[in-house]
A and B are shown apart, each in its own frame.
Chain A
Amino acid sequence: MAPTTRNTVDRLDKPSSYAASKNRRRKYNRDADDGDRGREKTPDFEDKLREATTLYVGNLSFYTTEEQIHELFAKCGEIKRLVMGLDRYQKTPCGFCFVEYYTHQDALDCMKYIGGTKLDERIIRTDLDEGFTEGRQYGRGKSGGQVRDEYRDEYDPGRGGYGRAIGADLGDDRDYR
């Protein structure tokens, strides 16, 4: 136990449990695979996030534009690149994006000051990200959007109504990816 350097209240600029669990899964695979080789190839997850300048931004409305995102996120520093998340088939926004800053500090500040506030009247989620790579801008859900929009049973007008798989195919299996 080493609470010595812990702050007296939690910090909001830590990666989420989702990012951490993704890493754990990856690490598990890697260890099962070949520990040494894996470690040399991919720098440690935490090291990557230690200098992260990119954020994953979630829970956007499908109708939120780049300009709106830019207007809000530029309050934390100059934006280097903004990549909209797109439906894999329709190539239309599907409710997430990547925002890349020039500095790590700006990304951290964005976690602290913008994550959990509203854009286009929705509470948005931010998470530190290891960096955008081609292909990650597309939804990984079955019908092309994000996985979470497949099975949602609440009506969300900003994200295409009900989940796409609901009603259409209720007997479908859960997506465990």
Chain B
Amino acid sequence: MADLDVKPDGRGDGGRGRWNNNSRKRRFRDDDDTDRRPTRRRYEEPTAVKLRKMLLSIAESPMRLPEDEAKDIARMLAENFEDEEVKAEFFDLFVRLIIEQPFKIPFTAAVILYSNESKPEVTKEALRRTSERAQELLNEGRWREFKLLLRFFACLQDLFKGDGVFSFLHKLFDSAVDLQSANENDVVGLELVKIILLTLPYALVKSDTALQEQATEILQKTGIVASMRLPIESLVEAYTGHTEEKPVLYHSVIGLLQTQLQNEAAGGWELACLPRFSRPVPREADGEDAMVPAPETHAFPDIMIPSPVNPGPKPLFPEAFFSLYADQDVETVPKTSTIAASLLRDAIVDTINILDFNRTATAKFLIDLDCYWQPDTFVKRATPFDKLRDVAGDKSTWKPEDMAVDAVFSQIFLLPNPEHKLVYYHSVITESCKIAPAAIAPSLGRAIRFLFRNLDVMDLELVYRFLDWFSHHLSNFEFRWKWTEWLDDIDRSNMHPKKAFIIGALDKEIRLSFAKRIRATLPEKYHPLISEGKDKDTPDFKYADDNTPYASEGRQLCSQIRKKAAEEEIQETINTIHTKAAEAKVSDVLVASTDAYMTCICFIGSKSLSHVLSCIERSKERLLAIGPQSEAARRQIVSSVVDYWRDQPGIAVNIVDKLLNYTILSPMCVVQWALSDHLGAGEALSESWIFEMVAGTVGKVTNRVRQIVAARLQRGLPEEQVAMLDETLMKERDAMRALFKFIDDSVKAVSDGISDIFIKKVRSGELSDEDAALIKAWGRRWQTVFIRKAQVEEAVVGEEAVESKVRVLNAEPMIEANDIAEAANGEDEIL
């Protein structure tokens, strides 16, 4: 500390910070000389602002050495440490930066490393602030943020007395074991072990052998937990089918981590990708002063692991490692056997998921990825793929763009659900493409090719996510894609997953644009896939054709609805249809009249969604009355909508969705229509809009049940309300299960090839052997998706899940009090 008093004079022309200041001032004066505007009063930035800017931008510029930046900040902080306002603001930001910008953690830690040399009080304050926050996060079960603060501590390992972070990791492991032994499907314990494993490397960057032994000891303990395969784990695999068909073998994130760390341990903990900093040596000590005291060390902060551990606000599931580029001929991303694969991926994914409130900032981080790791971890940005083979000797061929794209897709393809809405990840890719098209676009192209190549074995829900992204992405870039690459796939049967994908993608593109525009972006061979009907704004009204049964009644009904005739008049027309239908021996006459009525509504409302909605609104009494009279007639409503909009199924899906909201249709009715009336021999399962319709309907039902559960889990409900909610929950949950059961029965029959129509079509030769096999495969893929959805819901709203949450709710009046106290501190609205 005596050093400090001398310093400001002692380094007059040496320090970087000082030089920077001078140059800035000089530049200012130059500007003033040439500027004819009235000069403004010179404005010196307050120290707090200056420090804020310096800390925020640390390591961002490849032109500056992060180590120097850290030293500059440390120096300025030490000089102003007595200013309470500066101190308070600095550490507010400091804690936030760790939690919001994970890439910068090693660098923020370096600031403390260098501060500690001259002013150990800075370290004390940093540890106090970060450990307080860490404790809160741990109490709340906010695992990601907690992990990041723990990482910060790991980076400071040198400054701790004794074992430092290691003793805490041991304690954390004990908690994980408790959780694991209590429940074989426990995922919170897994999360803790994952955190431990991801923390280790950061603590070992400059380690001595003693610490390495500690690490080995921890690894021995975590081995069993990490290598276990949970019963629910099969639900999160991206690729279905037999092992030999899979493009990438399944790895759980945690199992992979364990192996990678063991490999790293065997290699002597090289940890080559993590940024390094020179040990803080007082600048004046040029050999002459050998008596420099060792830096002051500190006790590891006291962080209590609550018992029982709070599982946190989000339901957790085991995590699969997903990569588009890993373990291929050219190593554009780290091999899955190396720890770099997990360290980089973890930091990138966290960055993406934390910064969802500013996708441009996210994209910038992705593009500047290489700034935050040890130099030479990556090949130069935007190096073309085919130039990688020329990279000399043992130099890295990892492409930062591939790392970034890989990480975004790992989130798009995360099962059961991504953290944010999928469209966020779309927007991150779009933004990255805008910032660095030459770097990102080729990587994206290779990603698309890889995905397309493996469509056949990919989980169906993920295929649908791919489809949705692909069409949305193209809509942001003039619909440019090398469609010629897939020309051969057009010759395939419509049942083939690749052909089905192309058909679905074109339909989605058209929905965001219009048929003529999309046709213009395609080679001619694709044009038959876009029917002429798609060009029509108003599809034909079938009753305009006299060959249609009930044509004149249909037309009459149409004009009556259009001019808002009295309900009695409409009923008369409907009665005429009923009479005629009865004469024609139609078993359910209501089906015939419903077809006419709904088709009229579609035709009258064809101008736009609001037109059809207002027409439905006007006719809703009559429509609502149909269902209770006849289920067949209710399903006819769906048939009529889909038939009218057969060339633009997106609109049909939309209208059906609105009819569900009006409860004119029931979820079961929609699903029965799709997987029974419309199923055929199973061909319908290849249509992406059918998947959209069924998944959307199921989503509505599961959302509702989740909302009931959320309502039930409010604190302090009166008893009668609890009873009511419990009853509603039971009823709705049963309905949900019935829906899942129906879907499972239907698609299983397809997958087993036992439906009557299927058998008939195969016997008659109407279905080729190839198509028959493809249809069975569609059945299997559908089944996998909906079994997963059903099990996920059970994990969230099943009796066991709800009961355990209710128990937690009833047992925790204490924690509620804590929550209120925290909210008063103004820390509640973080993130």
Contacts and interface: CB of A to CB of B under 8 A. Distances in A.
Interface of A: 1, 3-5, 7-13, 65-68, 70-72, 75-77, 82-84, 109, 112-114, 117-121
A75 B423 contact: yes
Interface residues of B, number: 43
Contacts of B478: 121
Contacts of B753: none
5 contacts: A12-B360, A75-B421, A76-B421, A109-B420, A113-B421
Interface string B168-198: 0000000000000000000000000000000
B554 interface: no
A40 B653 CA distance: 45
B124 interface: no
Candidate in B93, B426, B475, B651 with the most chain A CB atoms within 10 angstroms = B475
Contact of A11 (B358, B420, B426, B472): B358
Contacts of A68: 511-514
Given A9-B357, A68-B512, A121-B475, 19 more contacts: A1-B48, A3-B93, A4-B826, A8-B97, A8-B101, A12-B357, A71-B511, A71-B512, A72-B472, A75-B421, A75-B472, A109-B423, A112-B357, A113-B359, A113-B424, A117-B430, A118-B476, A121-B478, A121-B513
Given A112-B359, A112-B424, A82 B93 contact: no
B274 interface: no
Given A71-B511, A76-B421, A8 B56 contact: yes
Contact of B609 (A3, A67, A118, A119): A67
Contacts of B100: 7-9
A53 to B, nearest CB: 16
B587 interface: no
* Nearest 7 pairs of A and B residues by beta carbon: A75-B423, A9-B361, A4-B92, A71-B511, A11-B357, A66-B608, A118-B476
B356 to A, nearest CB: 6
A8 to B, nearest CB: 5
A12 B654 contact: no
A130 B420 CA distance: 25
Contacts of A84: 608, 610
Candidate in B355, B420, B422, B427 with the most chain A CB atoms within 10 angstroms = B427
Given A3-B93, A84-B610, A9 B355 contact: yes
Contact of B93 (A8, A9, A119): A8
B358 A70 contact: no
A58 to B, nearest CB: 18
Interface in B790-831: 826, 829-830
Nearest to A105: B421
A72 B93 CA distance: 36
Contacts of A76: 421, 423
B270 interface: no
B651 A67 contact: yes
Candidate in B92, B423, B426, B427 with the most chain A CB atoms within 10 angstroms = B423
Candidate in A70, A71, A119 with the most chain B CB atoms within 10 angstroms = A71
B96 interface: yes
B89 interface: yes
A13 B358 CA distance: 8
A82 B359 contact: no
**Which applies to chain A's interface (DSSP): helix, strand, loop or mixed?**
mixed
B647 to A, nearest CB: 13
Contacts of A4: 89, 92, 826
B46 to A, nearest CB: 9
Nearest to A114: B423
Given A3-B89, A9-B358, A72 B512 contact: yes
B255 interface: no
A82 B651 contact: no
B335 interface: no
B89 A113 contact: no
Given A7-B357, A8-B97, A118 B427 contact: no
Contacts of B52: 3
Contacts of A113: 356, 359, 421, 423-424, 426-427
Contacts of A120: 512-513
Nearest to A71: B511
A153 B96 CA distance: 46
A10 B358 CA distance: 7
A23 to B, nearest CB: 22
A12 B511 contact: no
A12 B421 contact: no
A12 B650 CA distance: 30
Nearest to B425: A113
Contacts of A75: 421-423, 426, 468, 472
A70 B356 contact: no
A109 B421 CA distance: 8
Given A70-B654, A121-B513, A112 B356 contact: yes
Contacts of A10: 358, 361
A11 B357 CA distance: 5
B826 A5 contact: yes
A120 B48 CA distance: 46
